[in-house]
Structure 1
Amino acid sequence: MFPEYDVIVVGAGHAGCEAAAAAATMGSKVLLITMNMHTIAQMSCNPAMGGVAKGQIVREIDALGGQSGIVSDKTMIQFRMLNLSKGPAMWSPRCQSDRMLFAQEWRNILEANPNVDFWQDTAKEIIVEDGKAAGVKTSLGIEIKSKAVVLTNGTFLNGLIHIGEKNFGGGRTGEKAATGITEQLVQLGFEAGRMKTGTPPRVDGRSLDYSKMEEQPGDENPSKFSYTDTAPLTKQRSCWITYTNSEVHEVLRTGFEKSPMFSGRIKGIGPRYCPSVEDKINRFADKDRHQIFVEPEGWDTVEVYVNGFSTSLPEDVQYAALRKIPGFENAKMFRPGYAIEYDYFPPTQLKSTLETHLIKNLFFAGQINGTTGYEEAACQGLMAGINAHRNAQGEEPFTLKRSEAYIGVLIDDLINKGTEEPYRMFTSRAEYRTLLRQDNADIRLTQRGYEIGLADQKRLDNVNRKIKEVDEIVDQFSTTKLTPEEINTTLEQWGTAPLREKTAITQLLKRPQITIEQLAESSSKIQDIIANYNPDSVQQAQIHIKYDSYIEKEMLLVEKMNRLEDLNIIDNFNYDAVSSLSFEGREKLKRTRPTTIGQASRISGVSQSDISVLMLFIGR
């Protein structure tokens, strides 16, 4: 019935979709197995993509040739660039998405790829032959063979949903949990754990009074995620902000004795930076209110997502508390919020390719690795899909360094440090964040994506044109000088010292108060230069000029760290033979099996003295 596939992807969430699309685009014959064909790329939680650090990840996925940026652009209903009051390293794109259109667009992309086949079923078991993944066995008893398997099970592995004192099996509301795989992997020697996440109630937007809320419109000139020719938004829907209050908190407290979180029925650890509303009022008892973001779920639906009100309290308590929020006095609830516990596998059991140490050709991506968030899942799916394809074709692995991408930071953190709570990306996790900006992801990564056959020629031509334009702009700004007469009025207007002599544009742009846009208002020379170039190239040139010294400093740090990354450790290195290693260091190194000294230096529990011993032992 089934041919042998190059890659089987289990699960069709954000990780699974990117994995399937990447492997298929690169030439692998892919089978995507999902429990429900109607929930491909379902946005299980809030209908949004991007945000702080997450927006950078979406841009990186796009630069490599992935699809999340394109899907987001085609289905967004609002766009905002966050953190514009801070430096460019902190700027982060975010969009509000149409939930139904997002899923439909992803399905369209997958169905348009002739290398992707689909099968609606539950994978119950991995076929393992001679220590290698060789396919899957489904709940229908069908065995399907492949050269590689990617598991992207999300919250479905032994998923357990909690609402008050009620709990029932499920991977998502209205969908059954998946069983069998955890039990098999544990039997094979894998370590498993439990995590928890949650979601808020959904309400009827027709029943809300928006006059009592603060409007949050999109950007006046909205940008987009993808570096391709996707169209920017021409119309947008607003989100809204309101707040809880002491009355809301009192109602919520009446349900604490029935809370599965406080009663101990929930064993899994939840996300630190996205706590439930009951957790917030318990932990921050001194706060008399908490922010609530009221987010529409699409262009043509009245359903509203109540961001900031994630909860697993009894549904009657949820409903009563909601109606005490300003603007929600007459709210009608579509469905209550809930918490969900699920199995995950500590990611220290993975290589930097996301292939498992124990079973060759078996890859994990997404929440199965202990992460939270669509973007974190999607980038893991992309990398797992790339490497599953390359494994199947006998090609070298593809990885990204911490200095190359937030994706590299995320995977490096997971495999070396592990995580005991749902991992979420922040800009603070990246030590080279001045280099890893959202505006230059294409310059950093498109060449890499092109070399492996994922990014196409048009993408490469676009980025090469951008690089050329940026160089030309910087060169012209360096040689074009402005006189005191033509620019001093503008400089004084913006609170910076006037000129006494002709000064190059680059020198003026190094002043923190001054931007190209401000100078262009008074200088026809600047207007003539920037008129010939794409606005993105102009912005890139400005960032390069303003932050040149910071960029140079980080590049020196990268160069220093790369010396350690170039020191390889052989696959079967015998750490037990190195008696001067600390006991903890030896155990952690044996477990993680780092491939370079640089990777070894980032493993929690491996000391600097352990690294010195290793370097001496390998002759450095």
Structure 2
Amino acid sequence: MYDIIVAGAGHAGCEAALAAARMGQKCLLITSDFTAIARMSCNPAIGGVAKGQITREIDALGGEMAKAIDTTGIQFRMLNRSKGPAMHSPRAQADRAEYTLYMRKVIEQEPLIDLLQDTVTDIRVSGTSCHGVMITTGRTIEGRAVILACGTFLNGLIHIGMTHYPGGRTIAEPPVHGLTENLVTRGFKAGRLKTGTPARIDKRSVDFSKVTEQPGDTDPVIFSFSTSRSTPRRQLSCYLTATTEKTHTILEQGFDRSPLFTGKVQGVGPRYCPSIEDKIFRFKDRKSHHIFLEPEGFDTNEMYVNGLSTSLPEDIQIEAMKTIPGLEHVVVMRPGYAIEYDFFFPWQIHATMETKLIDNLYFCGQINGTSGYEEAAAQGLIAGINAALKNTGQEPFVLKRHEAYIGVLIDDLITKETSEPYRMFTSAAEHRIILRQDNADRRLMHYGKKFGLIGDQQIQRLRQKEDSIHALTTLLQSERLSPEKIQHLFAQTSYKAPSGSMRVFNLLKRPSISIQGILEASPSLAEQAKAVTDDPSVLEQVEIDCKYEGYIKREQLMAEKIARLEEHHIPESFDYHAVKGLSNEGREKLLRHRPETIGQASRILGVTPADISVLMVRLGR
């Protein structure tokens, strides 16, 4: 008997098993292939806009993804540096093979995790409670809780032109049959989605004189708060090129053999990351689209052709690529393809990732209709934590929307309609000024400590950081800069200098004035600041807290107002049929989603403010 059984060892399954095991639960991690643990089936990269924030949140809660990419990264870049700090997002290319090896090693070294190479085909249920799984051999394995992290394996179907055949994640992996059907017979509602990936090419066939080099950052920002920032990093460059009008003409010649346009693909694909044929069809006025050539590791010639996701016939793919500058003599190592797979509508799960229909059964990752390694890993981490908490009789763990991007992600899943693969964007977070990548440790690490996933040493470093932030803020609030130094400081900007002396903290609020510039203008203040801290992250935090003080306070007040709605709980057995005054659509959506709080109910598409008012009056009574 295991405490927790995890089906699937992708990014979601790995985080779920590791979190639960580190919380003292005996876990079984079931996967069809030990060599494919945490495999990056699409782009070998972690982070990006909003995804970088999620990765740092996973790290602050005690997850493994950030440490894995710090160890195996081959290029690091901070995106959106020209924008405000709320938009800054770290991203890194990974050595695909090394990333998988790293995660396998971490899992095998965890004493409370057993590995089994097999496939789950059904779950075992008594009454309304899950107590185990059945595998392909017909054997039943007992477990107090089961976490399904099936990725794109459920009835997976791969498409290349008019050719299609069963596939689980990549061309060489088999799908999982039977599990979807068994869950549907138990009352779950399933749907069909699609994702795709570009061709892989041999870098020796690329003419690098015709493409633009994109090196990594010279001072790379790493992901984990526990990784040493002083470690020197060897990096590889990526390269930029673009499609041409001739490329588009050739691709259009294959539209009559496209599974997308001929109806062979029934699943809905991601609108935010369309295939190249979809881009050409939808944006006919565009004569060119960016293509990024990204290395897959230090010791391989394989390159990822980012921006050329396609399921067109292989001959069309190759012919079209040869019209792209730098790829005239391209050698294709693997064609692009689309994959269709089953998912389960996420309004069927609680915010803990536990299903509403069956107790002790958890869904996480692409089984919930999401897209992306980071979104999957975040769900796996939350599922693992909550399964462990429930097994030990503790209160569930639910992150609010104002606490983390992970909170936004899960709340969106359980309250919004899933009609396409869900991907996190910064625009989805209404509190993104306080949900920055730089302060994830300050926001969430206390939770990781509470669950035993963050060690005392890390917490001690966080406390020292908080003390330094407070001390440096106090120093800047008390010190003034002379008119002469202010004039010198503003001489380097296009702004007019204020007259008279000024408190440093207020001066720092001015545009184009940085904390580093102030310290350079005042050596005496720089000496005092150095006595407080020499940690660059402390200077960064103090500057952001100062410059955005008004916005941060406003967002915190808004978050507090919204949080009050989360305190109004709706009983699980609440009878919406008995509530007069609800709109027909509102009643239908409330019955389907079964929100746990008024706050959740207010975010369900189709539930009007009038419906919420009626609900609050009824619950008040």
Range into which the TM-score falls when normalised by the shorter chain:
over 0.9
Q: Does 1:435 align with 2:427?
A: no
Aligned length: 617
Secondary structure of the corresponding residue to residue 260 of structure 2: helix
Q: 2:304 — aligned with what?
A: 305
Per mean C-alpha deviation after superposition, the further-off stretch among 582-591 and 442-451 is 582-591
**Which of 205, 225, 232 is 2:203 aligned to?**
205
CA contact (8 A) 1:417 1:604 kept: yes
Letter in 2 for 1:336: P
In structure 2, distance between residues paired with 1:80 and 1:405: 22
Corresponding position of 1:593? 594
2:162 is equivalent to residue 161 of structure 1: no
Is the CA contact 1:148–1:362 (under 8 Å) kept in the aligned structure 2? yes
Following the alignment from structure 2 to structure 1, what is the Cα–Cα distance between the partners of residues 216 and 113?
A: 36
Maintained 8 Å contact 2:200/2:305: yes
| RMSD (Å) for aligned C-alpha atoms | 1.1
C-alpha distance in structure 1 between counterparts of 2:524 and 2:551, whole Å: 28
Deviation at 1:581, TM superposition (A): 1.8
Counterpart residue number, 2:556? 555
Are residue 612 (structure 1) and residue 610 (structure 2) matched?
Answer: no
User: Residue in 1 aligned with 2:49?
Assistant: 52
> What residue is the counterpart of 2:58 in the other structure?
61
Q: Distance in 2 between matches of 1:529 and 1:275?
A: 53
* Residue type at the aligned position of 2:87: M
Which residue in the other structure is 1:444 paired with?
A: 443
Deviation at 1:570, TM superposition (A): 1.7
Question: 1:456 Cα deviation (Å)?
Answer: 1.9
Whole-angstrom CA distance in 2 between matches of 1:604 and 1:493: 50
Which range moved further: 525-534 or 495-504?
A: 525-534
In the TM superposition, residue 380 of structure 1 has moved relative to its aligned partner by 0.5
- Which residue number corresponds to residue 322 of structure 2? 323
In 1, distance between residues paired with 2:316 and 2:112? 49
Matches of 1:178 and 1:146, distance apart in 2: 21
Give the aligned residue type for 2:181.
Answer: E
- TM-score, normalization by structure 1: 0.98
Counterpart for residue 189 of structure 1: 187
User: Which runs of structure 2 are paired with 1:245-394 in the superposition (5 Å)?
Assistant: 245-394=244-393
- d(CA) in 1 for partners of 2:527 and 2:284? 58
SS of the residue corresponding to residue 261 of structure 2 reads helix
Q: Is the 8 A contact 2:161 2:313 kept in 1?
A: yes
Secondary structure at the residue paired with 1:294? strand
Structure-1 residue corresponding to 2:115? 118
Q: Equivalent residue for 1:216?
A: 214
Report deviation, 1:526. Answer: 3.7
**What's the TM-score, normalizing by structure 2?**
0.98
**Using the alignment, how far apart are the partners of 2:237 and 2:508 within structure 1?**
35
Aligned to 1:7: 4
Q: Which deviations, in whole Å up to 9, do the C-alpha atoms of 1:551-581 show, x marking residues without a partner?
A: 0000110111111111111222122221222
Aligned mates of 2:538, 2:507 — CA distance in 1? 19
- Residue 475 (structure 2) pairs with residue 476 (structure 1): yes
Superposition deviation, residue 525 in structure 1: 2.9
Supply the distance in 2 between the matched residues of 1:606 and 1:80 (Cα, whole angstroms): 41
Give the superposition deviation at 1:34. 0.2
Partners in 2 of 1:45 and 1:11 — Cα distance? 17
Q: Note the alpha carbon deviations across 1:443-494, whole angstroms, 9 max, x for none.
A: 0000112112222222221222111111111110111111121231221211
**Cα deviation digits, residues 335-389 of structure 1 (max 9, x gap):** 1000000000110111111111101111111111011010111100100111111
Contact 1:70 1:230 in 2 (8 A): no
> What is the match of residue 504 of structure 2?
505
Distance in 1 (CA, whole Å) between partners of 2:129 and 2:114 is 23
- Aligned match of 1:137: 134
Map 1:24-43 onto structure 2 (within 5 A).
Answer: 24-43=21-40
Q: Which amino acid aligns with 1:311?
A: T
Deviation, structure 1 residue 496:
2.1
1:160 Cα deviation (Å)? 0.2
CA distance in 1, matches of 2:199, 2:124: 39
In the alignment, is the contact (CA less than 8 A) between 1:483 and 1:499 conserved in 2? no
Q: Give me the identity figure in percent.
A: 54
SS in 2 for 1:149: strand
One-letter identity of the residue aligned with 2:206 = L
CA deviation digits over 1:51-109, x for unaligned, max 9? 00000000000000111011010110111111111110000000011101111111111
Shift of 1:233: 4.5
Q: Which amino acid aligns with 1:273?
A: Y
Amino acid at match of 2:568: L
Structure 2 Cα separation of the partners of residues 466 and 606 of structure 1: 44
Which residue pairs with 1:244 in the alignment?
Answer: 243
User: In 1, distance between residues paired with 2:70 and 2:462?
Assistant: 19
State whether residues 80 and 222 of structure 1, in contact with CA within 8 Å, keep that contact through their aligned partners in structure 2: yes
* Residues 246-272 of structure 1 deviation map (CA, whole Å, 9 limit, x = unaligned): 011111111111000010000000001
Q: Do residues 90 (structure 1) and 87 (structure 2) align?
A: yes
Structure 1: which amino acid aligns with 2:552? I
Counterpart residue number, 2:425: 426
Deviation for aligned residue 1:519:
2.1
Separation of aligned partners in 2, 1:42 and 1:230: 25
Residue 70 of structure 2 contacts residue 227 of structure 2 at CA under 8 Å; is this kept in 1? no
Partner of 2:620, secondary structure, is coil
What is the identity, as a one-letter code, of the residue corresponding to 2:547? Answer: K
Runs of 5+ consecutive residues of structure 2 not aligned to the other structure: none
